[in-house]
Amino acid sequence: MLEKLRIKRDEVKGTGQKKEEKKPKSKSEKTDKHKSPEQAFYDNGAKKLTSNNKIQEQNYIEKDVKRGLRNANGTGVVVGLTHIGEVVGYEKDEKGNKIPLEGKLFYRGYDVEDLVNNVLLEDRFGFEEIAYLLLMGELPTKKELAAYNDLIGEHRELPMGFARDMILTAPSKNIMNKLARSVLALYSFDDNPDDISLPNVLRQSMNLMGYFPAIICYAYQAKSSYYDKKSLHLHDPIRELSTSENILRMLRPMGEYSDLEAKILDICMILHAEHGGGNNSSFTTHLISSTGTDTYSAIAAAVGSLKGPRHGGANIAVINMINDIKAHVKDIDKHSALDDYLVRVLKGEANDRSGLVYGMGHAIYTKSDPRAKILKNMAKKLAESNDRIDDYMLCDYIERRTPELYAEVHGREILMPANVDLYSGFVYSALDIDTDVATPLFATARLAGWTAHRLEEIVNAGKLMRPAYESVQERRDYVAIADRK
């Protein structure tokens, strides 16, 4: 099917045939001496950009500018107020010093551990209920949840022709790129896209929550077929199924999944649904929404934010790190060999040479990440059910040993709890979910938080967000073009 669409796309462009693949450049063509004039311009321009835009660290100190909107102790600069989420990792004493605490995460004032434990106790799917809570501000009754699920179910299937025209015809190597493009394209399928009244934005938000699973799964299937030369498997979503069930059904070639697998993915999505208004993508949603723009533009911007590897790529980094460990440590049950390799990672000599053990440490949580604690228990059940207990124990060892090895390498002890990505990375791997889909899954869950923050910004709209930047460029006199050197 994709082959036909490729040909059709090329015919529309007037070629009537597939594009010829470009021949790889010879070694001589890749040298500076044989650069094209175009590439030489870009490379020289990059040098000028570096020289003319570099701001010295001292400038930030002198002008008391908090880089990255972070205080000196690493905490975020408070830029707003919210009802939606609260992240607690420490408290402050009278002198403003941080006192470490066991981590807590609250959704609309409810402890997320209580929310998850009740879902587990009742052995049901809970993501839709939590999405309702984040959007509406209160837990739904059975009747309200049923009505909400019906409306979401009505939009599990994408608009007529959307998958063919917007996803299959122009696949992307990056699923987040395709997700952002698809969100923007949905503007054209909305009869009332620019109305930012609360009822209309709520409608758009719920429609997007229905559409996201099909978008990411079809985008993955298109990418796998077009770029990886795999068979194309497209399954229609089923309106009566939960979000996690539909995702597993549409991702897998035969659409099979177990109840345990779907419910563990459901818990992952609950834990990723919200993390306070200060995370980059939620802040982006507030920022863009303050302009009065449409829902599709705001959510596409949030997707673009999460696409950045510093924000949404941590669980992929964990998966890649685990794979790298297994590739270089022959016997992962041999703790001395593992220690040697983790020390090399901490010294910046192994894995990606960043010096980071991914999945360890957090900007706010000090003693523990509540999401990691919940997910660790679920991950163990999954590991036992599909013979992945060795991989689970590897994650457990990394969690226990990394702080000790860090102290040995760097000569100081710091609090370094496992964060949610250590075990969500394992869960995605154990569910045979391709790393290409890890961040899109994160986005599908976090959409609940994004839309809640957008609605909150609209309710409290009053000011366009307009932060200030202070110029550090010295004044210069104009020089006529004939006199420039």
Q: Which CATH superfamily is domain 314-430 in?
A: Cytochrome P450-Terp, domain 2 (1.10.230.10)
| Calpha distance 277→87 (Å, rounded) | 10
Which helix or strand (DSSP H or E) is residue 92 part of?
A: strand 85-92
Q: Give the pLDDT of residue 94.
A: 86
| Calpha distance 212→195 (Å, rounded) | 21
First to last CA, the chain: 58
Count Cβ atoms below 10 Å from residue 191 Cβ, excluding itself. 5
For residue 448, what are the CA distances in angstroms to 31, 298, 333, 421, 456? 49, 13, 40, 19, 12
- Lowest mean pLDDT, pick from 5-19, 34-48, 400-414: 5-19
Parallel, antiparallel or unpaired: strands 85-92 and 110-111:
unpaired
Q: Tell me the per-residue pLDDT of 102-135, one tens digit each, with 9 for 90 and over.
A: 999 999 999 999 999 999 999 999 999 999 999 9
Query: Do 314-430 and 103-308+453-459 have the same topology in CATH?
Result: no
| Calpha distance 294→187 (Å, rounded) | 9
| Calpha distance 108→350 (Å, rounded) | 42
Q: Give the pLDDT of residue 24.
A: 54
Q: Give the pLDDT of residue 96.
A: 77
For residue 476, what are the CA distances in angstroms to 54, 472, 473, 479? 17, 12, 9, 9
Mean pLDDT for 49-60 is 91
Which tokens belong to 285? Answer: 């949603």
Mean pLDDT for 170-182 is 96
Q: Is the pLDDT of residue 150 over 70?
A: yes
Mean pLDDT for 459-465 is 87
Q: Tell me the per-residue pLDDT of 424-444, one tens digit each, with 9 for 90 and over.
A: 989 999 999 999 999 999 999
Q: Count helices and strands (H / E) in the chain.
A: 20, 3
Q: Tell me the per-residue pLDDT of 309-351, one tens digit each, with 9 for 90 and over.
A: 888 888 889 999 999 999 999 888 899 999 999 999 999 999 9
CATH no. of 103-308+453-459: 1.10.580.10
Domain residue extents for the chain: 103-308+453-459, 314-430
Q: Is the pLDDT of residue 245 over 60?
A: yes
For residue 98, what are the CA distances in angstroms to 94, 104, 419? 10, 15, 19
Q: How far is CA 483 from the centre of its chain?
A: 51
φ/ψ of 79, rounded to 5, equals -120, 0
Q: Is the pLDDT of residue 20 over 70?
A: no
Q: Give the pLDDT of residue 68.
A: 85
Q: Is the pLDDT of residue 16 over 50?
A: no
Spatial contact of 232 and 2, defined as CB atoms under 8 Å apart: yes
Q: What pLDDT band is residue 3 in, cutting at 50, 70 and 90?
A: low
Q: Is the pLDDT of residue 25 over 90?
A: no
Q: Is the pLDDT of residue 4 over 70?
A: no
Q: Give the pLDDT of residue 365.
A: 94
Which residues, including other chains, have CB under 8 Å from residue 317's CB and lie 6 or more apart? 309, 352, 358, 359, 421, 425
| Calpha distance 237→247 (Å, rounded) | 8
Mean pLDDT for 139-148 is 97
Which residues, including other chains, have CB under 8 Å from residue 437's CB and lie 6 or more apart? 175, 216, 217, 220, 251, 428
Q: Give the pLDDT of residue 467.
A: 87
pTM (predicted TM-score): 0.89
- Lowest mean pLDDT, pick from 19-23, 52-56, 153-157, 481-485: 19-23
Q: Is the pLDDT of residue 28 over 50?
A: no
Closest CA to 296 of 160, 451, 159, 169: 451
Which tokens belong to 390? Answer: 């060795």
Q: Give the pLDDT of residue 23.
A: 54
List, in sequence order, the alpha helices (H) in 313-437.
Answer: 314-328, 335-346, 370-385, 389-410, 420-430
Q: Give the pLDDT of residue 12.
A: 45
